[in-house]
Amino acid sequence: MRQERLAGKLLQIRQALGLSQSEMMKRLGFEEVLDYKRISEYELGKNEPPLAVLLAYARLAGVSTDVLIDDRLDLPDKLPAKPKHTR
């Protein structure tokens, strides 16, 4: 079972932030453990990111992980969004 819209949402987040794939990997905080080419795999739907990476994407975008993984939910028009929750 794959989320059909996940790849597109990940691409949309990176583009909204104006980052290259290598810059995105750095912003996610995984440049030491993952190759930046993974970003391409995630955005093309060739590979699904681990939960920790999904969480990092959600935090950068200011959305909940539900928005990323639920195909019925859309990303906000403006990213990064203001988080609806606080720590």
Residue 82 corresponds to which tokens in the numbers above? 């203001």
Q: For residue 82, is pLDDT > 80?
A: no
- Helices (H) and strands (E) counted in the chain, each on its own, are 5, 0
What mean pLDDT comes out for the span 46-71? 96
Residue 77 to residue 40: CA distance in whole angstroms: 22
pLDDT tens column, 4-52: 999 999 999 999 999 999 999 999 999 999 988 999 999 999 999 999 9
| pLDDT the model gives residue 85 | 52
> Is the Cα torsion angle 36, 38, 42, 45 positive or negative in sign?
positive
Residue 81 to residue 3: CA distance in whole angstroms: 22
Domains and CATH numbers, the chain: 6-69 (1.10.260.40)
| pLDDT the model gives residue 83 | 58
pTM of the shown model: 0.90
